[in-house]
Amino acid sequence: MLLILLACTSPSDTEGPSGVAAAASGPVHLVRLTHRQWENAVVDLLGLSGSSGLSDAFVTDVTTSTFDNEASALDVTPTLWQQYQAAAEALAEQVVLDPELYAFNVPDDLRPSGPVPGPAERDAWLQSFGALAYRRALSPDELRALTAVFEASGDAFQSGDPFVDGVRGSLVAILQSPAFLYRHEGVYLDPAASELSPEDLATKLSFALWNTLPDEALRAAADDGLEPLAVTAEVERMLAAPAAHQMVVDLHRQLLHVDSYEHIFRPSEEVLGIDVFDDSLPAAMQREVYTFVDELVFHGGTVRDLFTSPDSFVDEKLAAIYGISGVVGDELVPVALDPAERAGLLTLSGFLAWEASVTEPNLIERGAFVNDTFLCVDVPPPPANVPPLPEEVEGLPLREVVEDHTSACGGGCHTALINPIGFAFGKYDETGAFVPEDRGQPIDATGTYTFEDGPHSFDGAVALATVMAEREEVHRCYVTHLLTYLEGQVPTSADEAQVARLTEASLSGTPILDLISDIATSREFRALR
């Protein structure tokens, strides 16, 4: 019962380092870790050799944002609380039963020198491990509560080693504590403070750029005050680390709905003698997106490049879809695609195949996705009584089928927003392959879309991508996505100046990685929100 009571303690019930109650010490902003962040954090904190897999069973979070780290939607339901408890108990048991894990979490200099540990030895371990888990020093109240847990654990586990039992019980409690499960922005600050404390800023930086706990170097920088110059140096160091690559991939995985590629299915079809749509192809499409984004972002690519680059990475089956010969095997290799047919994210095979039915492309869904994801235009769902698009009308090109089906909308969403962009993708079939004809007739892929600076016409997806790459709202939409992901919340009117600054920088050709650095080193990122 003692362990459960500690886990349920609200951060506002604890005292700050000065002994002043946190509830009266200024703004409090609690941001629960996402399941991915929880998983990464326990791996790094406990020294696990790989993912624990425990978060796979956690109840799915429901957010209204594009990303799963939306602060306002991340609460702890009764079910999740029970799952946190079960996970904490399983991890604590794993640590004390594995000699290597125990040595990692209880190094020699923190172990008792004799058979009966004293209070100094107990407190030294609690303060050392607790500071890692909580990303700051333990408060006096927290140390007292954990001490009680430590002392009571001998009776609870009865292994014969009171120190090991104390470690196990404390691990169970710490891993359920709000101080571990939440990022605390401003809990221990003076009421007049306007910026995060160095510890809270280090934590925010680490979970924004790495989706995990601060490492030793970042903790040391926080101990030294983490002044703006130090923040810049740390952000530069962090963006050069492998975890930053994982962050960029995760951001675009969610933005582009790449997980949905797992559900792509097509009847078996041979292209260049290859059975293209086997079980491996959706995964190859996912890897293509991840590699494309990673290579572009970490080699100085800009938002404009996201829409215009003809380069990609293919294996044998993807090469067949793109009409490329000479690629063998399932390893991705860099290729230059035909620039008349391919340009950036909008023409990669996965997006085109995902936004298609089993037998034909879905121009409506392709158009709606581009509006929503790259133009930040909120396209409402169709009314419930609208019948589905006819699968095929004999002798009638797909474009005409769509026009006839959506004509009742008049100047509404379809005519003004969805159809013009969707028609640009008419020359890509349900596999993502480029096809010049539909039902024996040349495909009309022309369209005119009214952007903020007026109407622009285009013929095909490459031309559309070229037009979009120069539009201010496209750059503003993308930097808004960056800001949403890194801050963990959708920008508000208070963020308009920052969004405008980032948009201007993007339009001027600032690399995406520099835009990320700009956000992480900004005054707004340090500010209490």
Residue 424 has pLDDT above 90, yes or no: yes
- Rounded to the nearest 10°, the torsion over CA 496, 500, 502, 507 is 150
Of 23-27, 147-151, 252-256, 417-421, the one with minimum mean pLDDT is 23-27
29-32 and 182-185 beta bridge pairing: antiparallel
What is the pLDDT averaged over residues 427-443? Answer: 89
Confidence of residue 385 (pLDDT cuts 50, 70, 90): low
Higher pLDDT, 143 or 268: 143
Q: What values do phi and psi take at 219, rounded to 5?
A: -65, -40
* Number of CB atoms found within 10 A of residue 225's CB: 9
Per-residue tokens: 317: 């089956």
Alpha helices, DSSP H only, in 390-521?
A: 398-406, 413, 419-423, 461-468, 472-487, 496-507, 512-520
Residue 231 has pLDDT above 80, yes or no: yes
Can you tell me the distance from the alpha carbon of 423 to that of 444, in angstroms, rounded to the nearest whole number? 8
Tell which residue, 202, 179, 242, has the closest CA to residue 22: 179
pLDDT at 187 (0 to 100): 58
Of 142-151, 194-203, 500-509, the one with minimum mean pLDDT is 194-203
Confidence of residue 278 (pLDDT cuts 50, 70, 90): confident
* Number of CB atoms found within 10 A of residue 162's CB: 20
| Count, residues in the chain | 529
What is the pLDDT averaged over residues 352-366? Answer: 90
Q: Under a CB-based contact definition with an 8 Å cutoff, are residues 397 and 443 in contact?
A: yes
Longest Cα separation, the chain: 88
Q: What values do phi and psi take at 76, rounded to 5?
A: -120, 105
Helix, strand, or coil (residue 437): strand
Confidence of residue 276 (pLDDT cuts 50, 70, 90): confident
The letter for the amino acid at 73 is A
What is the pLDDT averaged over residues 41-70? Answer: 94
- For 157-198, the DSSP string reads H--S-HHHHHHHHHHHHHTTSHHHHEEEESTTS-TT--B--H
Residue 248 has pLDDT above 70, yes or no: yes
Q: Under a CB-based contact definition with an 8 Å cutoff, are residues 202 and 222 in contact?
A: yes
Q: Under a CB-based contact definition with an 8 Å cutoff, are residues 221 and 230 in contact?
A: yes
Can you tell me the distance from the alpha carbon of 10 to that of 207, in angstroms, rounded to the nearest whole number? 21
For residue 527, give the DSSP letter: B
Helical pair 35-46 and 78-97, crossing angle rounded to 10 deg: 20
pLDDT at 190 (0 to 100): 64
Helix, strand, or coil (residue 411): coil
pLDDT at 193 (0 to 100): 74
Residue 429 has pLDDT above 70, yes or no: yes
What is the pLDDT averaged over residues 349-375? Answer: 93
Q: Which segments within 337-427 are labelled E, that is strand?
A: none
DSSP H or E stretch at residue 251: helix 242-255
pLDDT at 186 (0 to 100): 67
Q: Which residue has the tokens 């900004």?
A: 522
Can you tell me the distance from the alpha carbon of 433 to that of 483, in angstroms, rounded to the nearest whole number? 34
Can you tell me the distance from the alpha carbon of 505 to that of 482, in angstroms, rounded to the nearest whole number? 13
Confidence of residue 104 (pLDDT cuts 50, 70, 90): very high
Write the burial class of residue 90 (CB in 10 Å: 0-12 exposed, 13-18 middle, 19+ buried): middle
* CA angle in degrees (0–180, nearest 5) for 446-454-309: 55
Can you tell me the distance from the alpha carbon of 177 to that of 184, in angstroms, rounded to the nearest whole number? 12
- For 129-157, the DSSP string reads HHHHHHTSPPPHHHHHHHHHHHHHHHHHH
What does each C-alpha distance from 247 to 14, 242, 303, 461, 522 come to in angstroms? 32, 9, 17, 28, 19
- Mean pLDDT (the chain) is 89
Of 139-148, 151-160, 438-447, 470-479, the one with minimum mean pLDDT is 438-447
What is the pLDDT averaged over residues 29-52? Answer: 95
Higher pLDDT, 201 or 399: 201
* Interior/surface letters 286-296, b for 16+ CB within 10 angstroms, e for the rest: bbbbbbbbbbb
